[in-house]
Amino acid sequence: MSNVVTIAVDGPAGAGKSTVVRRVAEALNLLYLDTGAMYRAATVGMYDQGIDPDDAAAIAAWCTHRAIDFDAHGAVRLDGNVVDPQRLRSPETTAEIWRIANNAACRAHLVNLQQGIVQGRGAALEGRDATTVICPEATLKVYLDASPEERARRRLAQWSGDGALAPDFASLVEDLRLRDERDRTRASGALQCADDAVPLLTDGLSVDQVVARIIALAVQRRPMVLEACVQDAVIVGRSRQSGYVRVAQGSIADPPAPWQLGLSNPSPDRQPSCTTSMTRNSGGRQAGILCQGKAVLVLGGKEAHPAWPMAMPMLPQTWYVIEPHVWHAVVQAPGTICAWAEASTISEERSPLSEYHQDILASYFQVYFPQ
Q: State the residues that interact with ligand DC by CB under 6 A.
A: 13, 35-36, 39-40, 97, 101, 127-129, 179, 183, 189
Residue 98 or 365: the one with the smaller Cβ distance to ligand DC is 98
Cα 209 to the center of its chain, rounded Å: 11
236 forms beta bridges with 321
Shortest spacing between CB 50 and ligand DC, in angstroms:
21
Is the CB of 127 or the CB of 262 nearer to ligand DC? 127
Shortest spacing between CB 35 and ligand DC, in angstroms: 4
Q: Which is nearer to ligand DC, 180 or 227 (CB)?
A: 180
Q: Smallest gap, in angstroms, from Cβ of residue 30 to ligand DC?
A: 17
User: Rounded to whole angstroms, how far apart are CA atoms 178 and 122?
Assistant: 34
E strands, 74-116, are 76-78, 81-82
If the CB atoms of residues 99 and 357 are measured against ligand DC, the closer one turns out to be 99
Dump the DSSP string for 318-362: EEEEE-TTT--EEE-STTEEEEE-TTSSEEEEEEEPPHHHHHHHH
DSSP H/E element including 310: strand 310-314
Q: Which residues have C-beta within 8 Å of that of residue 256, sequence separation ≥ 6?
A: none
Exposure letters 88-99 (e unless 16+ CB within 10 A, then b): beeeebbebbbb
Rounded to a whole number of angstroms, the minimum distance from the CB of residue 286 to ligand DC is 37
In the complex with ligand DC, the residue whose CB is nearer, 188 or 279, is 188
Least gap, CB of 5 to ligand DC (angstroms): 20
Closer residue to ligand DC in complex, CB, 36/266: 36
- Cβ burial of 167 (10 Å; 0-12, 13-18, 19+) is middle
The distance of closest approach from Cβ of residue 106 to ligand DC in the complex, given in angstroms and rounded to an integer, is: 9
- Interacting residues of 367 by C-beta distance below 8 A, sequence separation 6+: 213, 216, 217, 220
How far apart CA 317 and CA 170 sit, in angstroms, is: 48
